[in-house]
């Protein structure tokens, strides 16, 4: 968390005392820095100066409505992958004209709702989806605007579970299939197919895969225009990586945009970008309280009150997050811990063999870079209510999601008393 006070040393974030915050609001607790989010998006906007470009924040990274409102105030639109994310974006005040709908499995109901709302564009991932949009748009008597998502078969050099641009991944279509879609476009009279889209993966720490993918997209754009198929929009996706551990270096906005300028500098249409993780991850942390220390025969465990249901990334991706003891003054001895949660799964592990200052029950620990794919992937597994989320800004904070109560968690459940015939 290099852009503001390090919570392990100072115990503060943007003028807010983290220990006092945790005492008041409880743990586990997600904390987001409004100033850092603003700095990130403004640096990207500044880098894009002179280009006809729009930022479409990837809502899946963190869909909290207060976060979306903050980003909307900074001029961002939304990249959505579900009807629920569309409703979140609209509720936050993002205009439908600034929303693009991605994802491989849009239902007819979602397509219909998006057309009714008037979203700007669909990022289409298959011929079957084009058929579905045509059918639904014709039923409404409207024309939908769409881009074809290209799978450029580029290795993003990231974790296999977040790689999306190789031939074996489920996303997008091959360049050959994209050519066929444009050449047979008249069979979808209610779909204006005038855009290209790509997204090769997430947590990209090297820009070389982006450069390769953009070169292939640019070549296809020129080929299509030469064949009489004008391209009005190129969506370059997102996936920029962030610093999860000391020593990692995330791509800077200027360097990323320089790669886009190099490939698409002479493109006369609209360029869209879909940052998510890059805007949010380092702006957030997860506060958790130490429950106890447990010494096994071979390992020393630090059991905290956060669990895999609160932050799934370490269990799902073997992802690394730096972990610090809040307010550490450097006087405690170092101890090697496995940092684990209370969920009844061996996979409920945040770190293995991690050196930390010695911790005791009641100490406050911060799991860093948790602002993206943290709360948005949380669940109520083990009947654990969802954690609270707060936004901090210049010495003050606001609860932007209250801690879920048990009754709220089970609100949709009921006894099997209303039996019906199917």
Q: Cis omega before residue 28 (within 30°)?
A: yes
Angle at 283 between CA 280 and CA 285, to 5 degrees: 110
Assigned token pair, 12: 């503060």
Query: Three-state DSSP class for 81?
Result: coil
Query: Three-state DSSP class for 383?
Result: helix
Alpha-carbon dihedral of residues 405, 410, 415, 419, nearest 10 degrees?
140
Measured between alpha carbons, how far apart are the two ends of the chain, in Å? 54
The separation between CA 68 and the C-alpha centre of its own chain, rounded to angstroms, equals 12
Q: Dihedral sign, CA of 261, 1, 17, 372?
A: positive
Nearest to 101 by CA among 125, 77, 79, 131: 79
Compute the distance between CA of residue 226 and CA of residue 117 in angstroms, rounded to an integer.
Answer: 34
- CB 259 within 8 Å of CB 213: no
Nearest to 345 by CA among 323, 321, 312: 312
Compute the distance between CA of residue 350 and CA of residue 295 in angstroms, rounded to an integer.
Answer: 17
Q: Active-site positions?
A: 344
Query: Three-state DSSP class for 257?
Result: helix
- CB 209 within 8 Å of CB 162: no
> 363: exposed, middle or buried (C-beta count within 10 Å: 0-12, 13-18, 19+)?
buried
Q: Which residues contact 281 (CB under 8 A, 6 or more apart)?
A: 61, 242, 244, 369, 370, 371, 372, 373
Instruction: Considering only CA atoms, give the Rg of the chain.
Output: 23
- CB 351 within 8 Å of CB 337: yes
The separation between CA 134 and the C-alpha centre of its own chain, rounded to angstroms, equals 29
Q: Which residues contact 87 (CB under 8 A, 6 or more apart)?
A: none
């Amino acid at each position: 968390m290099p852009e503001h006070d390090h919570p392990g040393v100072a115990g503060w974030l943007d003028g807010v005392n983290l220990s006092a915050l945790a005492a008041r609001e409880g743990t586990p607790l997600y904390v987001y820095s409004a100033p850092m989010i603003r700095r990130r998006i403004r640096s990207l906007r500044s880098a894009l100066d002179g280009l006809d470009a729009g930022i479409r924040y990837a809502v899946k990274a963190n869909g909290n409505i207060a976060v979306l409102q903050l980003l909307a105030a900074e001029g961002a639109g939304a990249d959505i992958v579900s009807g629920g994310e569309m409703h979140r974006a609209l509720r936050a005040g993002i205009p439908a004209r600034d929303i693009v709908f991605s994802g491989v499995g849009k239902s007819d109901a979602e397509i219909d709702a998006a057309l009714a709302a008037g979203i700007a564009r669909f990022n289409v991932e298959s011929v079957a989806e084009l058929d579905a949009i045509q059918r639904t748009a014709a039923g409404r008597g409207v024309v939908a605007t769409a881009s074809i998502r290209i799978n450029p078969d580029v290795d993003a050099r990231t974790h296999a579970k977040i790689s999306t641009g190789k031939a074996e991944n489920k996303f997008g279509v091959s360049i050959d299939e994209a050519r066929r879609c444009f050449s047979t476009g008249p069979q979808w009279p209610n779909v204006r197919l005038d855009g290209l889209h790509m997204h090769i993966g997430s947590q990209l720490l090297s820009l070389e895969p982006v450069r390769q993918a953009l070169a292939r997209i640019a070549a296809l754009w020129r080929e299509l225009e030469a064949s009489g198929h004008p391209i009005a929009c190129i969506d370059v996706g997102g996936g920029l990586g962030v610093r999860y551990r000391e020593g990692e270096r995330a791509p800077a906005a200027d360097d990323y945009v320089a790669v886009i300028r190099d490939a698409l500098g002479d493109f006369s249409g609209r360029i869209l970008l879909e940052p998510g993780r890059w805007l949010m991850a380092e702006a957030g942390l997860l506060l958790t309280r130490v429950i106890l220390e447990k010494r096994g025969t071979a390992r020393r465990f630090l059991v905290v009150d956060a669990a895999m249901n609160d932050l799934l990334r370490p269990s799902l991706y073997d992802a690394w997050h730096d972990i610090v003891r809040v307010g550490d003054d450097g006087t405690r001895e170092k101890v090697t811990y496995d940092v684990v949660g209370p969920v009844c799964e061996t996979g409920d592990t945040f770190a293995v063999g991690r050196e930390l200052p010695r911790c005791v029950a009641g100490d406050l620990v911060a799991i860093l870079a948790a602002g993206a794919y943290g709360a948005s992937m949380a669940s109520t597994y083990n009947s654990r209510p969802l954690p609270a989320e707060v936004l901090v800004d210049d010495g003050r904070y606001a609860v932007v999601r209250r801690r879920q109560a048990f009754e709220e968690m089970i609100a949709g459940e009921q006894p099997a008393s209303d039996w019906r015939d199917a």
